[in-house]
Amino acid sequence: MPKNCNFIEKLREVGLRPTKQRVKMCEVLYNREKTFHFTINDLVKLLSEKMNQKISLATVYNTVHAFEKKGYLKEISIDSHKSYFDTNTSAHHHFFDEDTHELIDCDESDIDKISIRKNITGKKINSVEVLVRVASDNQTQK
Amino acid sequence: MPKNCNFIEKLREVGLRPTKQRVKMCEVLYNREKTFHFTINDLVKLLSEKMNQKISLATVYNTVHAFEKKGYLKEISIDSHKSYFDTNTSAHHHFFDEDTHELIDCDESDIDKISIRKNITGKKINSVEVLVRVASDNQTQK
DNA sequence: ATCTACATTATAATAATTCTAAACTGTTGA
DNA sequence: TCAACAGTTTAGAATTATTATAATGTAGAT
Ligand SMILES: [Mn+2]
Ligand SMILES: [Mn+2]
Ligand SMILES: [Zn+2]
Ligand SMILES: [Zn+2]
């Protein structure tokens, strides 16, 4: 989603009422250069601290899920104990930094197309995603 | 872990006291032909219903995490809302059936080795795992 | 048999998420 | 323009998964 676009229009296009809470959340999520990976907690903090916007927690959850359903956000499973969301809704792979708990997008050139030779009868493949877990390289005892 | 092995010995080997709760959990987890993928709830149900073994929920959590730390179990992140564990602790890929919420192991021949061309300075790769989400193929409107 | 460190248990506490029901607001069309 | 309605927000309660607490029990050693 480009910078400075009209979030009111965007929301209307998918049938979401452009309430001020939703518009503010769009600003936080999409007025940025790069993909944003976040937890609900990250988002609540950004809204209250950086944006000075008091939004009830229930609304943050509701809105995130509304955005997810409309294709504005994608949920990423990295850690069974917390939900991560991604403003990059296309199919893509991730690095996960186990030290900082940060997600990093891969692009096409980082990982070759995965070829799946297994087939499950009656089932179709919905997605194929790779997760590369990394951590600091601290056994350099030269 | 092979069938009918001596769980008491196995537990001692890694420094876990073979209490009756732990041995019973070993039986449920490892006396089976194939890899077992489960949630804590699945395991509690099996213990109480099938094995007629009353074990406190805290013990099930404690023991699962003790087994995880000792390399008897591996946690799998599939769904941010629930923890899945796997008796197959080797590096391997999965299919996840979104209809039944079942995990299926891939073997070597199912997916080629993944080549990672991205490098993050100061970080080493801990694991590379693929998750293939599948669901029933219901758009056969011939 | 006794001792001690570790394990189990019931229960309370915490954390993430969802529900509820009342108040509020964007949109529509008279 | 503005009443009416449907959809939205909200505070707070409820629910669910998980972890902590502290008393009791037990495996393994002597
Ligand atoms: Mn969710
Ligand atoms: Mn866990
Ligand atoms: Zn991403
Ligand atoms: Zn597995």
Q: What is the pLDDT of residues B8-21, one digit of tens each?
A: 999 999 999 999 99
> What per-residue confidence (pLDDT) applies to B50?
83
Q: How far apart are CA B35 and CA A67, in angstroms?
A: 37
C-beta atoms surrounding B142 within 10 Å: 2
Beta strands in B89-122 (DSSP E): 94-97, 102-105
Check CB contact under 8 Å for A131 and B131: yes
B55 CB less than 7 Å from any atom of strand C: yes
| Class of domain A7-134 (CATH, top level) | mainly alpha
Round to a whole number and report the distance in Å from the CA of B17 to the C1' of C4. 14
Percent of chain B with pLDDT over 90: 77
A14 CB less than 7 Å from any atom of strand D: no
Q: How far apart are CA B79 and CA A80, in angstroms?
A: 6
The per-residue pLDDT for range A37-75, each reduced to its tens digit, is 999 999 999 998 888 888 999 999 999 999 999 999 999
